[in-house]
């Protein structure tokens, strides 16, 4: 990951930027170095560590979150560019302690993960896919749409099965 000075450790020359956005339904603010990536802001400032950094080079999709409802790679998005916008992370899919989101439940049920590192990005990508393409997804389409998400463990078979099942379950759920 890009090494940045943390809050407080900055030199005077840095032009800080004030930002505010809605994250998982809650208004948040920050006074950040403009270099801060959205994923860093989420993980390091807000301590929402469900969003992962797998590659830091826009390839693996472990960092996928929703920006204004669309799946994006938060390692390739500057936090300042999300100022004034709405972000949803894996933590925002279902309330703490409440039943899991149907896509999360489907990954559990169909064993769509092994180490789990890629899972937050897989699930956020899958939910965006359902929003765009509906609840009846062919395996072929799911595989095409997972172009930007890498998993080093599962071999994808169960991920594809989880997404197909999760997409169907979402039709019957109140959780978006």
Partner 1 sequence: MYEFKYHRPSTVRQAANLLIKNEDAKLIAGGHTLVPVMKQRLAAPPHIIDLSHIEGVDGIEMKGRSLVIGALAKHANVAASPIVGEAIPALAELAGLIGDPAVRHKGTIGGSLANNDPTADYPAAVMALGATIVTNKRKLKPEEFFQGLFTTALESDEIITKVSFPVPKKAAYIKFRNQASRYALVGVFVARLPSGVRVTVTGAGSDGVFRVEAFEAALQKRFSPKALDGLTVPAEGLNSDLHGSAEYRAHLIGVLAKRAVEAANNRA
Ligand X SMILES: Cc1cc2nc3c(=O)[nH]c(=O)nc-3n(C[C@H](O)[C@H](O)[C@H](O)COP(=O)(O)OP(=O)(O)OC[C@H]3O[C@@H](n4cnc5c(N)ncnc54)[C@H](O)[C@@H]3O)c2cc1C
Q: Are 113 and 107 in contact (CB under 8 A)?
A: yes
Please tell me what DSSP assigns to residue 169.
H
Contacting partner 1 (CB under 8 A), which of 7, 33, 109, 156?
A: 33
115 lines the binding site for ligand FES (CB under 6 A): yes
Supply 89's token pair: 């992370």
Q: Are 151 and 122 in contact (CB under 8 A)?
A: yes
- Across 142-154, b (16+ Cβ under 10 Å) vs e yields beebbeebbbeeb
Taking the complex as a whole, the smallest distance from the CB of residue 158 to partner 1 amounts, in Å, to 20
| Site track for ligand X across 51-80, x = CB under 6 A | -------xx----------------x----
87 lines the binding site for ligand FES (CB under 6 A): no
Burial of 66 (0-12, 13-18, 19+ CB in 10 A): buried
Please tell me what DSSP assigns to residue 156.
S
Give the count of residues interacting with ligand X (CB under 6 A).
Answer: 3
167 lines the binding site for partner 1 (CB under 8 A): no
Binding region for partner 1 (CB under 8 A): 2, 4, 13-15, 17, 33-35, 37, 56-58, 61, 64, 67, 70-73, 76-78, 80-81, 83-84, 125, 128-129, 132, 145, 147-149
């Amino acid at each position: 990951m890009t090494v940045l000075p943390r809050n407080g450790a900055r030199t005077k020359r840095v032009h800080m930027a004030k930002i505010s956005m809605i994250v998982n339904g809650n208004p948040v603010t920050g006074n950040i170095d403009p270099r801060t990536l959205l994923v860093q802001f989420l993980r390091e400032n807000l301590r929402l560590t469900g969003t992962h950094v797998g590659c830091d080079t826009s390839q693996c999709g472990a960092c996928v979150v929703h920006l204004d409802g669309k799946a994006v790679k938060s390692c390739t998005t500057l936090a300042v560019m999300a100022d004034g916008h709405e972000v949803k992370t894996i933590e925002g899919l279902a309330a703490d302690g409440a039943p899991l989101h149907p896509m999360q439940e489907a990954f559990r049920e169909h064993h769509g993960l092994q180490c789990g590192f890629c899972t937050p990005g897989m699930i956020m990508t899958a939910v965006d896919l359902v929003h765009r393409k509906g609840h009846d997804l062919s395996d072929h389409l799911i595989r095409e749409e997972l172009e930007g998400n890498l998993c080093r463990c599962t071999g994808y078979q169960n991920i594809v099965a989880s997404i197909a099942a999760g997409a169907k379950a979402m039709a019957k759920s109140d959780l978006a």
